[in-house]
Amino acid sequence: MHMMFEVRDLAVASPATVSRCGMVFHEPLHVGVLPLVHTWAAGEIEDFHPDHVQRLVTLLEDHVPKVIAFLRSHCTEVIASRDANLVQSFLTLLLSLVKPNAGVKGPYTAGAIPRSAAVKARERWEKTRGVKAEQSDAAAEEDAEEDGAKPVAATGGASTSSSTPAPAAAAVAATPMGDDDDDDAAASSGVGHTMSRRARGGGMDPDHLKRVIDLSYVFAFMWSFGCNIHDKSRAAFNAFALELLADLLPDDFKAAIGVTPSADGAAATASSDLTDYFVDVESGSLKDWRTRIQPFAYLPSMPYFNILVPTRDTTRYSHVFRTLVENGRNVMFSGETGVGKSVVIVDTLNRMSAGDAATFVSTTINFSAQTHSANLQEALEANLDRKRKNLLGAPAGKTMVVFVDDLNMVSKERSLALFFRNMPPSRPAQLRAATIFLPRCHRVPTAAPEGDLRRPATYRAAAAGH
């Protein structure tokens, strides 16, 4: 039996604990957050928009330390967060906003093969050592079983699934390469590795693309660093963001919202908050959320508690939530009790899973002070399809979204070590399958601030989602 634990820190770890366990632990203070930026820049964003990577990295290296310092000294958070979690949330949301499925198409988008920085590093390692990356028959059968498809034979003896994308190494081999000069220039651009160049063609006008990426940067900035702060800190954070991101905002937009620099030039004021606007890709501008509010149609047959009147708040929360989930991200909703977190999530999930062509299915698990780990396992087993003995997953061709309401209502249980220590040796352990994998499943928890029987949400819980 193998047991793996993820700990919040090593504050109470004794030398005996460290010596008996294999540990890799890095203090966030020494690691910093800029490695996250450089890793992100070497990933999918470089495949979609290589001409803008270095400019984005320069902005991030300048803005990230400043915004984190401002948050820690001038703002109050609803749920405690880590610097790395905030930066990662910003980067994942920004990438989701500039992908082709969001309507942002550059000159390299048509032939782009998105790969993570880890996959590219593995490919470079294999290339330097002459290792040919092939997908094994066992891996192909496992992928096919998860997706509900039968494996088919592929060229070269490797097997793959009709519903599974080709291996990254094979995809790279099929990508048309440019001149060696282009590869050398890419290697010296500072983003970390040589990029496979593709022929330019199609996509947006370069100026329009740059404007959309800049506005997406502003949008992601506000909905990551600024989404977890208390209401009393929002005005100060908005003024700080207007000053820091002034060069990315169009002059006509700043004039429209009445941006007025202060006398000392250290802050700015405006009549509107930057979170009141979304990026309209087609026009390349920021528009008010009220232009996207759907008309309300009253249905007499609908139960009273299921009625949701669309507002600017429900519209923007639903849009950000849907954008992240559709791009494979876990999302965590935080806020005071009674503000409508659960209502917005349930309504959005119902619309995402409606119709025969929907690719999402969802289930709801309500936590309380009496919820135990066994209850969670039972709920998951009841709502997921069993692929194999120890493999649960979404139905074939679907992605499961597990909505966990009131995540921090659960009381702390005894540790697993204490459980085994107190178990009578003559009585066999009544434990079910020790390992349960959940492919193609996203978590969507909600958490309210500490109080009213709610425990403080840990850094690990906050780091599990956007």
Shortest CA distance to 460 belongs to which of 91, 79, 59? Answer: 79
Domain count across the chain: 2
**Domain stop point among 174, 190, 216:** 174
3-class state of residue 272 by DSSP: coil
Report the pLDDT value the prediction gives residue 268, as an integer from 0 to 100: 63
Q: Are 40 and 53 in contact (CB under 8 A)?
A: no
CA atoms of 145 and 83, how far apart (whole Å):
39
Residue 93 lies in a domain: no
CA distance 216 to 327: 15
User: What is residue 152's predicted lDDT score, i.e. its pLDDT?
Assistant: 39
Do the beta carbons of residue 317 and residue 293 sit within 8 Å? no
List the Cα angle 430/391/382 in 5-degree steps: 70
Check if the beta carbon of residue 465 is closer than 8 Å to that of residue 445: yes
The Cα–Cα gap between 221 and 237 comes to: 11
Q: How far apart are CA 443 and CA 363, in angstroms?
A: 10
- For residue 362, being part of any structural domain is answered with yes
Residues of the chain under the 50 pLDDT cut: 133-140, 146, 149-199, 266, 414-437
Mean of the per-residue pLDDT values of the chain: 75
For residue 31, being part of any structural domain is answered with no
Helix 53-74 and helix 234-244: axis angle, to 10°? 150
Buried b (16+ CB within 10 A) or exposed e, 94-105: bbbbbbeebebb
Asked whether residue 78 is assigned to any structural domain, the reply reads: no
Q: CB under 8 Å to 3, separation ≥6 — which residues?
A: 416
Question: What residue type is assigned to position 3 of the chain?
Answer: M
With respect to residue 392, please indicate whether it lies within any of the assigned structural domains.
Answer: yes
How many other β-carbons are positioned within 10 Å of the β-carbon of residue 65? Answer: 14
- For residue 261 the two structure tokens come to 């620099």
Token digits of residue 456: 């403080």
Bridge partners of 197? Answer: none
pLDDT of residue 464: 60
∠ Cα 49 202 179 (to 5°): 65
Bridge partners for 432 per DSSP: none
Q: Find the radius of gyration of the CA atoms of the chain.
A: 24
**How confident is the model at residue 98, as a pLDDT?**
94
Q: Determine, yes or no, domain membership for 463.
A: yes
pTM assigned to the model? 0.75
Does residue 129 lie in a domain region? yes
The DSSP code sequence of 74-85 is H--BSS---HHH
Q: Answer for the pair 182, 188: CB distance below 8 angstroms, yes or no.
A: no
374, 366, 360: which is closest to 406 by C-alpha?
366
Q: Which of 159, 174, 189 is the last residue of a domain?
A: 174
What DSSP string describes 11-42?
A: TT--HHHHHHS------HHHH-SHHHHHHHHT
Q: Is 363 helix (H, G, I), strand (E, B) or coil?
A: strand
pLDDT at residue 95, as a whole number: 95
Q: What pLDDT is stored for residue 267 in this prediction? A: 56
d(CA 93, CA 331): 11
Q: What is the Cα 253 distance to its own chain's centre? A: 29
Amino acid code (one letter) for 396: A
Domain end among 126, 144, 174 = 174
pLDDT one-digit tens code per residue, 46-86: 999 999 999 999 999 999 999 999 999 999 988 888 899 99
Q: Answer positive or negative: Cα dihedral of 308, 399, 50, 62.
A: positive
Domain around 318: 304-412+432-466
Work out the angle at residue 415's Cα, subtended by the Cα atoms of residues 414 and 421, and round it to the nearest 5 degrees.
95
The per-residue pLDDT for 221 is 97
DSSP lists the bridge partners of residue 454 as: 451
Q: What is the chain's length?
A: 466
CATH of residue 355: 3.40.50.300
Q: What is the pLDDT of residue 282?
A: 93
- Phi and psi for 444 in degrees, rounded to 5? -135, 85
Residue 16: inside a domain, yes or no? no
